[in-house]
Structure 1
Amino acid sequence: MTSNRPLALVTGGSSGIGFELAKQFAQNGFDLVISGSSDKVTKAAEELRTMGAQCYPYQADASTYEGVEGLWNHVVSLDRPLEAAALNVGIGQGGAFLDNDLEDDFKLIAINITGTVHMAKRVAMHMVANKSGRILITSSISATQPTPYETVYGPSKAFGFSFAESLRQELRGTGVTVTALLPGATDSEFHKNAGMASSEIGKSKKNDKTEVARQGFEALMNDVDHVVGGDEQTKQQAIDNRTTPETVKAERHAENARLK
């Protein structure tokens, strides 16, 4: 089937914030490519099609070069210009650094950092050649503070935020924009999957994932450099983090993230 709708890519688009972002694109006139690590991606694609979008799901392991490259080849095979990309896939990991397996640390880095850079390279080169495109990179409010008991996760998201801001400046004048989304704690399966259900963060009231995705989508469409996703309390925390000493933020986060 041919389509006159623009095409968007959402990585990690089968659940959580990623699926909500995909819904935002579908509801605003985009066709979609979405990726996920399980067969849930197929069901997610079926739901997105009910919103009028053509949707092309791709199941892959985002921690591997082959998985990321395979997804990009899936996009290329459609022979359509990619107008927007939400590089959203990411995982968390709670627990003390000394207790966690090194292999799990490496997997988090592979998905949150290496995979993001890999896909951003493919997407940015494609969009710059077309002189048009929008890139959204999902970071986290964790990028604004130390994150003890999420000691690899937080720095991975700080990388994502700095990477997005840096790439944004490099691409000025090319027709391609870059926006960073920094969600606060959100009502997805993230903290459960990270093994943090028993922590204060895991048990706390969460931001609405639909609202977080809407804020990210609107920031992307309006060429905003970054947006904190969540309620006013979450946005105020990000503001306060600019002036709060790192040691104070580290102690506070340790208390909230330590497994009980």
Structure 2
Amino acid sequence: MNQTSQKPLAVVTGASSGIGYELALICAQRGYDLVIAADRPEIHGAAARFRELGANVAEVETDLSTTDGVDRLCAAAEGRPIDALLANAGHGLGRGFLDQDFSAERHVLDTNITGTIYLLHKVARDMRTRAAGRILVTGSIAGFIPGSYQAVYNATKSFLNSFCFALREELEDSGVTVTCLMPGVTATDFFERADLMDTKVGRSEKASAQEVAMDGFEAMMRGDAEIISGWRNKLQVATANITPAQILAKKHAQMTAPGTAGQ
């Protein structure tokens, strides 16, 4: 990391692919230096691409479900003030709750919730001290829907959605903004990694990760509280708010139950 760079610094997690990669790409194109992290070796190839755009980049291949992994990420900034934090890292997990391995469920919880809020706690404190900073957290419209066959994942996104609004209120007038990006079904490798490719949702039409990332980045720069990316997702959230939870859970199961891809 170039300590003498005059560029602002953005930290992006989950930046090896999908929405996180596109967020980091936009940051590089908009003149940010980067600290990026993911738990896969593809993060190094992503870093090389961002350097081609003129960004100073420090990449960290680490497990962000652990406090040690988050500490490694923060250390990579080498003391430079973080101007923007784009907390995007997350994992999904398909199939029935009782049919999943609990260690896999715990990893989803620790990545999506524990690691994310630990990172926010560390970075946002410094932002508050400096009275400046922008935070974007990738939640999901899944947080509005009981997630049959994705029970743990949807619950983590419900937590993040709620947490973002609470933190934003606590930071009001502090100079630090918090924005919650809530995408719907997006074209990433999420569904393959979550073992959802034999489901209707796994085979369904998906939004562009590039478009979702741009929606999120622009909302963060405006200081908006939230952005639900895509008009269909806005409609789905509006419908979810007036639909009984039991019905939502049943409809979700129709999309995510194993073996439904051809139905």
TM-score band by shorter chain is over 0.9
Hey, which bits of structure 1, 4+ residues long, moved more than 3 A?
A: none
The corresponding residue for 1:45 is 47
The corresponding residue for 2:244 is 245
Q: Identical aligned pairs, as a percentage?
A: 39
Q: How does 1:65-214 map to 2 (within 5 A)?
A: 65-75=67-77, 77=78, 79-214=79-214
How much has 1:232 moved relative to structure 2? 1.9
The amino acid across from 1:14 in the alignment is S
The amino acid across from 2:111 in the alignment is I
Matched residue SS, 2:76: helix
The corresponding residue for 1:218 is 218
How much has 1:234 moved relative to structure 2? 2.0
> CA deviation digits over 1:22-70, x for unaligned, max 9?
0111111111110011221111011011122111101101122211111
The amino acid across from 1:74 in the alignment is A
Counterpart-to-counterpart distance in 2, 1:242 and 1:26:
37
Counterpart-to-counterpart distance in 1, 2:75 and 2:6:
21
The corresponding residue for 1:55 is 57
How much has 1:235 moved relative to structure 2? 2.1
Counterpart-to-counterpart distance in 2, 1:84 and 1:253:
34
RMSD of aligned residue pairs (Cα, Å): 0.9
Counterpart-to-counterpart distance in 2, 1:84 and 1:58:
17
Q: TM-score, normalised by structure 1?
A: 0.97
Matched residue SS, 2:95: coil
- Where structure 2 has 5 or more consecutive residues not aligned to the other structure, the ranges are none
The amino acid across from 1:32 in the alignment is L
> CA deviation digits over 1:128-180, x for unaligned, max 9?
11110001111111011111100100000100011100000000111000000
Counterpart-to-counterpart distance in 1, 2:40 and 2:102:
24
